[in-house]
Amino acid sequence: MTADKSSLFSRIESYRRRAGRVRGSVIETAHGGGGRAMRDLLDDVIVGVFVREFGSRELSDHEDQARFELTALSARGDRLAVTTDSYVVTPLEFPGGDIGSLAVNGTVNDLAVGGARPLYLTCSLVIEEGLEIAVLRRIVRSMARAAKHAGVAIVTGDTKVVARGAADRLFINTTGIGVIPRGVEVASNRVAPDDVLLVNGYLGDHGAAILVARGELQLETDIPSDCAALSPLVELLLSELDVHAMRDVTRGGLAAVLNELALASEVGIVVNAKALPVRHEVAGFCEILGLDPVHLANEGKLVVAVPKAQATRALELMRSHPLGQHAVAIATCRRDPPGLVTLDTGFGGERILDMLVGEPLPRIC
Q: Element (H or E) spanning 17, and its range?
A: helix 3-17
Q: Is residue 134 packed enough to be buried (19+ CB in 10 Å), middle (13-18) or exposed (0-12)?
A: exposed
- Other beta carbons within 10 angstroms of residue 118's beta carbon come to 27
Interval 102-125 mean pLDDT: 98
- Condensed to tens digits (0 to 9), the pLDDT of residues 259-307 reads 999 999 999 999 999 999 999 999 998 998 889 999 999 999 999 999 9
Q: Which candidate, 189, 302, 330, places its Cα nearest to that of 238?
A: 302
Interval 66-95 mean pLDDT: 94
> Given a cut of 60, is residue 9 above it in pLDDT?
no
Interval 79-104 mean pLDDT: 97
> Given a cut of 90, is residue 2 above it in pLDDT?
no
Q: Looking at residue 348, what is its pLDDT?
A: 79
Confidence of residue 17 (pLDDT cuts 50, 70, 90): very low
Q: Looking at residue 111, what is its pLDDT?
A: 98
Q: Which candidate, 120, 123, 126, places its Cα nearest to that of 82?
A: 120
Q: Looking at residue 12, what is its pLDDT?
A: 43
> Given a cut of 80, is residue 317 above it in pLDDT?
yes
Concatenating the DSSP letter of every residue in 145-183 gives HHHHHHT-EEEEEEEEEE-TTSSSSEEEEEEEEEEEPTT
Percent of the chain scored above 90 by pLDDT?
76
> Given a cut of 60, is residue 42 above it in pLDDT?
yes
- Condensed to tens digits (0 to 9), the pLDDT of residues 161-182 reads 999 999 999 999 999 999 999 9
Q: Looking at residue 16, what is its pLDDT?
A: 47
Q: Which candidate, 68, 104, 102, places its Cα nearest to that of 179?
A: 68
- Condensed to tens digits (0 to 9), the pLDDT of residues 181-227 reads 999 999 999 999 999 999 999 999 999 999 889 887 777 777 899 99
Confidence of residue 3 (pLDDT cuts 50, 70, 90): low
Interval 8-26 mean pLDDT: 63
Q: Looking at residue 288, what is its pLDDT?
A: 86
Q: Looking at residue 48, what is its pLDDT?
A: 85
Domains and CATH numbers, the chain: 21-180 (3.30.1330.10), 188-352 (3.90.650.10)
CB 271 within 8 A of CB 330: yes
Interval 123-134 mean pLDDT: 98
Q: Element (H or E) spanning 270, and its range?
A: strand 268-272
Rg from Cα positions in the chain? 23
Q: Which residues contact 77 (CB under 8 A, 6 or more apart)?
A: 116, 117, 179, 180, 181, 182, 184
> Given a cut of 50, is residue 346 above it in pLDDT?
yes
